[in-house]
């Protein structure tokens, strides 16, 4: 499976493409950032980022797009920009019929380093080692994008199993409710037949 990881941001949007093999085998295909000038208007900046992201999708043909889930920060303006970039990336993926997965920063950190509290330096160090890169990806946004892609590749099988287990549990619950309803209706019918019928006669 080929995954495009996206670390959304207006100034720097990290992009990383990773191929997954058997087991936990992963290989880096491409890594970089989509940039937009801070002096440009918001609409123009979003268009710049979206154009570069779409170019990567067309060039590398990922099967899944993994995006970092936006979480609350102190800087509301930064959060808004990040959320808007996430939206245009998800839209670009949807236009190509690509599934989109969102992963929280703690999920990515835990998958890559074993700790949901790892800092950016630790994540960069681990992703460099995991992918066997000769040097650490720069800037940190690029390393985070690769980490997102690897996180999805490693979490996807587990998420699929959980989804299948939930679907089976839901199906069993539906079957149980249907059988219970049928049994109640049958019992009600038997009780009605067993009830004495006076036929409305009086003595």
Can 141 be counted among the known catalytic residues?
yes
58 a catalytic residue:
no
Give the count of beta carbons closer than 10 Å to the beta carbon of residue 195: 8
Name the residue with tokens 């890594």.
Answer: 31
Around Cβ 179, how many Cβ atoms within 10 Å?
10
Does 19 appear as a known binding residue? no
Q: Is residue 141 annotated as involved in ligand binding?
A: yes
Q: Which of 54, 119, 135, 141 is catalytic?
A: 141
Q: Name the nearest CA neighbour of 131 among 31, 32, 23, 27.
A: 27
| Catalytically annotated residue among 68, 160, 171, 185 | 68
Annotated active-site residue 7? The verdict is: yes
68 is an annotated ligand-binding site residue = yes
- Residues involved in catalysis: 7, 68, 141
Residue list, annotated binding site: 7, 68, 141
Q: Which residues are annotated as a binding site for Mg(2+)?
A: 7, 68, 141
């Amino acid at each position: 499976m080929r995954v495009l990881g996206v670390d959304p941001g207006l100034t720097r949007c990290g992009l990383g493409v990773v191929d997954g093999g058997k087991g936990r085998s992963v290989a880096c295909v491409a890594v970089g950032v989509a940039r937009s000038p801070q002096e440009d208007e918001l609409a123009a900046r979003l268009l710049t980022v979206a154009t570069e992201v779409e170019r990567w999708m067309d060039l590398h043909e990922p099967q899944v797009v993994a995006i970092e889930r936006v979480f609350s920060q102190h800087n509301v303006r930064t959060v808004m920009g990040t959320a808007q970039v996430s939206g245009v990336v998800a839209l670009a993926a949807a236009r190509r019929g690509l599934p989109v997965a969102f992963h929280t920063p703690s999920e990515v950190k835990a998958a890559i380093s074993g700790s949901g509290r790892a800092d950016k330096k630790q994540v960069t160090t681990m992703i460099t080692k995991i992918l066997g890169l000769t040097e650490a990806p720069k800037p940190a946004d690029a390393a985070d994008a690769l980490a997102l892609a690897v996180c999805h590749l490693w979490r996807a099988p587990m998420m699929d199993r959980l989804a299948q287990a939930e679907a089976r549990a839901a199906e069993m619950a539906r079957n149980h409710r249907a059988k219970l309803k049928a049994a109640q209706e049958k019992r009600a019918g038997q009780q009605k037949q067993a009830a004495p019928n006076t036929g409305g006669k009086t003595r």
